[in-house]
Amino acid sequence: MSFVRASSLSLIATSLAVAMSAAPSVAQDYYAGKTIEFVVGGSAGGGYDIYARTVARHLGRHIPGNPTIVVKNMPGAGSTRAAIYISTVAPKDGNSVGALMPGAIVGPLLEDKPTTQFDPTKVVYIGTADTGVRICATFQNSKIKSFAAAQKNKTVLGASAAGGATRDYAYLHNHTAGTKFEVVSGYKGTVDIGLAMERGEVDGLCGWDWSSVKSQKGEWVRDKKINLLVQVGLDPHPELTDLGVPTIWTFIKDENDRKVVELVVSQQIFQRSYIVPPGTPPEQIKLLRAAFDATMKNQQFLADAAKMKISITPRSGQQVQDVVSKLYATPKELVERARAVIRP
C-alpha cells in the first residue's frame, strides 16, 4: 500500500471517528440557550397549573443544555384548546410541551361530536406525573353529607364545560350509580367552583382530583370543611380509605355499568400527562422523555411536590402512549354506552 493511500485511509478514518463522536454532542447541545414553552390547558391557580409549574421548575435541569422553561396558560374546552395548539400550531422542534387534562385525551373517543383537530393517538407522550383518584365532595353547610344521601336527594353540583371531569363524572354517577345530581355547568374550573361552594351557590362537585383538593384546599380537608362522598379510581386510594371514603364500586350493581365506568375512569391513569407535537424529531423526544423520568425521581423535585401537596405517581411516556392506543381500540358498543352515561 502506498504512503499516499495509507494517509488517505487514515484521514478518512479519523474524520469518521470525529463525526461519530460529535453526533451525540450535537444532540446534547440542542437545547443550550433555548426556551421551551410549557402550555397548560387549565386556568392559573388550578390543579393542572400547580402540577405543571412544579414540573417546569425542575425539568430544565435534567435536559442537556439546561433550557429555560416558560409556563403559559391556555384554558378552554377541558384543555382541548391547548391540545389543538400543541398538535397543529406549535413548532415541531421539541420546544413546545402541552400539559393536558385526561378529558382532552379521551374526548375524541367519548364525545358525540368530537373535534377533528386533535388526535390523541398521533401526539407524542413525554410522561404523566400522576395516576390519581378523583372524588365527589360537598361543602360543610350542605345537607348532603354522603354518597348514599346523594342517591336519594337532589344535590346541586358546580361543573365546567362539556369534556371536563367535573361535568362528565357528575352525569356518569347519575346514570350508573343512581345519584340525583343537578349539574350547573359553565364554571371556569375547580377554583371558581370552590368559591361557589363557599357562597352557597352549589352543594359541591364531582370529578375533583384528590391531589388538587390537597394542593388547592388542604385547609378544607384539615378543618373538615368538606364532606368526602366517594372516591373514584380503578383501585382504592389508601389515604382516602383511611379517611373512611367509600369507593364508587360499592354503589354500582350492574356489571355492564361497571365496565362502562371502568372505561371512563381509566383516563385517570394519565391524569397529569405531557405531550409534544406529532413530527417532533426522535432525538428531542428521547431527551425530553429521559429528562421527565429523571425529574420524577429527583429528590429536589419530590421535596417541592411534597411542599405543594401534590401526589407524584408517574408513568413513562411510552406507557402512556400504550394506554392511549389501547383505549382507542375499545369495542364500539362499549364506547357508545360510555358516551351516553357522561351526558345529561
- Measured between alpha carbons, how far is 248 from 233 in angstroms, rounded to an integer? 8
pLDDT confidence bin for 9, thresholds 50/70/90: very low
Judged on CB neighbours under 10 Å (0-12, 13-18, 19+), 300 is exposed
Q: What are the grid coordinates assigned to 101, written together? A: 387534562
User: What pLDDT, on a 0 to 100 scale, did the predictor assign at position 131?
Assistant: 87
Distances (CA, A) of 47 to 103, 115, 216, 297: 14, 24, 7, 21
Q: Averaged over 311-322, what is the pLDDT?
A: 94
User: What pLDDT, on a 0 to 100 scale, did the predictor assign at position 19?
Assistant: 45
Q: Is 256 helix (H, G, I), strand (E, B) or coil?
A: helix
* pLDDT, averaged across the chain: 91
User: What pLDDT, on a 0 to 100 scale, did the predictor assign at position 296?
Assistant: 98
pLDDT confidence bin for 4, thresholds 50/70/90: very low
Which of the 8 DSSP states describes residue 277?
Answer: -
Instruction: Give the residue range(s) of CATH 3.40.190.150 domains in the chain.
Output: 35-131+271-341
**CATH architecture assigned to 134-267:** 3-Layer(aba) Sandwich (3.40)
pLDDT confidence bin for 16, thresholds 50/70/90: very low
86, 44 Cβ separation under 8 angstroms = no
Instruction: Give the residue range(s) of CATH 3.40.190.10 domains in the chain.
Output: 134-267
pLDDT confidence bin for 112, thresholds 50/70/90: confident
Distances (CA, A) of 239 to 90, 133, 270, 306: 39, 11, 20, 15
- By percentage, how much of the chain surpasses pLDDT 70? 92
Residue 282: its H or E element? helix 282-297
- 35-131+271-341 CATH: 3.40.190.150
For residue 267, is pLDDT > 80?
Answer: yes
User: What pLDDT, on a 0 to 100 scale, did the predictor assign at position 27?
Assistant: 59
pLDDT confidence bin for 23, thresholds 50/70/90: very low
Query: What is 108-177 written as a DSSP string?
Result: HHH-SS--SS--TTTSEEEEES----EEEEEETT-S--SHHHHHHS-EEEE--STTSHHHHHHHHHHHHH
